[in-house]
Amino acid sequence: MKQLDSLTSPTRRTFLQGGIAAGGLLTCPLAAFAAPAGFDQWRDNFRARALAKGISEATWTRVMGRIEPDMSVFRQMQKQPEFNEQIWQYINRRVSDWRIINGREALKKNEALFARIEKDFGVERGTLLALWGVESAYGDPLVQQNHMKPVFPALAALAWNEPRRKAYWETELINALRIVDRGWSTPEEMRGSWAGAMGHSQWMPEVWLNVGFDYDRDGKVSPFGRPDDALGSTAKYLVNRGKYHRGEHWGYEVRASGGTSGSRSYAAWASAGVTRADGQPFPQPNASAQLWIPVAGGPAFLLGPNFYAVRSYNPSMNYALAICHLGDRILGAPPFIHPFPGSERALTLAEVQEMQTRLTKAGFDTGGTDGRVGNDTMKAIRDYQTKMGLLPADGYGGLKVLARLRQGN
């Protein structure tokens, strides 16, 4: 199985997300290549800066002594799998049948953990479940195995040779070294995205150090293994950095005729004729919200502070809407009532599996037929669309693609 849904997208937690690829031994992820010219000199110079920041000589030698930079990160930076999705496609792909079904299973297995987090931080379980599902497929070990790489060679390459944010990458490399110095993890365990984001909820080293905490009380702070530290610390992140409001919902789909802007109370919005799309009253009329209509003619939303708390995790409005909607769907809410213009309904799990099976038989390898639409499946779809003249060849696997596959080649 090689399904990874762009699990990450740079920024949040200061750059908290990343892409994909396999990893090898820490000392040489690209074993066929010697260190590029200039790397050894940079490493020697960086050593002094790292030791001045308190990194021990033993940790430096253990991690950086024989390291080779993972030069594949630069290809991945340039080839981010962005597929020009319309917002309804973006939502459908992330709020998928697979994620809803498996989110409910994850909740059953971790009911006590989510209840504890809600009590301690006031963060709704749906929000955390959705973040977990989108960031790491609920901690699926195959994501870690197949799509993550050793972070030190990746961060070393970026710190050495990524000129736009050199100081940032050097700081994150020192943060990662500090984690090893503290005994919280090992270089071998620290596998993540090309940008260095790790674990259940994709922590950058800075977040691991400064937000992460020992929620399961096992003596160390870790985004790996049991999800307690990762999810508890993510809730802490949403509260501390996202200013999450305890007890408030993220917002609601509404019926709105005008384009009034600004923040006002739900009661004031109701007085202005903005009502919930499902006809229910706003449960907290004195809480504040802003009106957002993503696409003219599409659904409208009143967004409370907790929507923007989610957005602090990743600055995309579409990402935040997908997370908030997925959380609602996992907990039993229906799809949006008002459709986006030109949208299709999302495929069911069985339909996605059928599409993957048919694509693979037609010679377009989806990397698995598990019902999860990741980058391999999207590439297979786009290649199929291109071959069959289905325009736009956007990589979106929906009803039209499935219907054509059923017709045969």
In this structure, what DSSP letter does residue 389 have?
Answer: T
In this structure, what DSSP letter does residue 28 have?
Answer: -
Residues 258 and 316 occupy one common structural domain? yes
Which residue, 260, 294, 326, sits at the end of a domain?
Answer: 326
pLDDT tens for each residue of 116-154: 999 999 999 999 999 999 999 999 988 878 789 999 999
Residues 399 and 361 occupy one common structural domain? yes
Answer yes or no: are the C-beta atoms of 201 and 132 closer than 8 Å: yes
Residue 334 included in any domain: no
Residues 303 and 256 occupy one common structural domain? yes
Q: What is the CATH number of the domain that holds 364?
A: 1.10.101
Per-range mean pLDDT, top range of 17-31, 62-76, 272-286? 272-286
Mean pLDDT is lowest, of 208-217, 252-261, 293-302, for: 252-261
At residue 107, the pLDDT reads 98
Confidence of residue 97 (pLDDT cuts 50, 70, 90): very high
* Backbone φ/ψ region at 297: left (φ over 0), alpha (ψ -120 to 50), beta: left
Residue 150 included in any domain: no
CA distances from 101 to 109, 123, 344 (A): 13, 21, 20
State in Å, rounded, how far the first CA of the chain is from the last one: 25
Please give the structure tokens belonging to residue 12.
């949040």
Residue 233 included in any domain: no
Residues 257 and 322 occupy one common structural domain? yes
Please name which of 348, 135, 122 lies closest in space to residue 227, comparing C-alpha atoms. 135
Q: Residue 365, CB half-sphere, CA atoms under 13 Å: how many? A: 3
Residues 359 and 397 occupy one common structural domain? yes
Mean pLDDT is lowest, of 70-79, 100-109, 262-271, 388-397, for: 70-79
Q: What is the mean pLDDT of residues 286-298?
A: 95
Residue 313 included in any domain: yes
The pTM is what?
0.88
User: Of all helices (H) and strands (E), which one includes residue 178?
Assistant: helix 166-181
Separation of alpha carbons 65 and 147, rounded Å: 26
pLDDT over threshold 50, residue 29: no
User: Of all helices (H) and strands (E), which one includes residue 302?
Assistant: strand 300-303
- Dihedral angle at the C-alpha atoms of 130, 135, 139, 141, nearest 10 degrees? 150
Which residue, 265, 293, 326, sits at the end of a domain?
Answer: 326
pLDDT over threshold 60, residue 30: no
Q: Is the bond leading into 392 cis (omega within 30 degrees of zero)?
A: yes
Tell me which residue range forms the domain holding 399. Answer: 349-407
pLDDT over threshold 60, residue 11: no
Please give the structure tokens belonging to residue 54.
């308190």
pLDDT tens for each residue of 321-357: 999 999 999 999 999 999 999 999 999 999 999 999 9
- Residue linked to tokens 């039209």: 400
pLDDT over threshold 60, residue 77: yes
Which residue, 326, 361, 378, sits at the end of a domain?
Answer: 326
- As a whole number of Å, the CA-based R_g of the chain is 22
Percentage of the chain beyond pLDDT 70 is: 89
Q: What is the mean pLDDT of residues 306-315?
A: 96
Residues 317 and 354 occupy one common structural domain? no
Answer yes or no: are the C-beta atoms of 376 and 3 closer than 8 Å: yes
Q: What is the mean pLDDT of residues 252-271?
A: 89
Residues 366 and 312 occupy one common structural domain? no
At residue 85, the pLDDT reads 83
Residues 319 and 353 occupy one common structural domain? no
At residue 208, the pLDDT reads 96
- Looking at the DSSP assignment, which residues form a beta bridge with residue 265? 288
pLDDT tens for each residue of 210-227: 999 999 999 999 999 999
Residue 359 included in any domain: yes
361-385 CB burial, b ≥16 within 10 A, e <16 = ebebebbbbbbbbbbbbbbbbbbbb
Structurally, the chain folds into a number of domains equal to 2
Residue 282 included in any domain: yes
Name the residue with higher pLDDT: 167 or 145.
167
Residues 359 and 322 occupy one common structural domain? no
Residue 58 included in any domain: no
At residue 163, the pLDDT reads 85
Confidence of residue 260 (pLDDT cuts 50, 70, 90): confident
At residue 32, the pLDDT reads 34
CA distances from 347 to 21, 46, 76, 205, 337 (A): 27, 50, 29, 37, 17
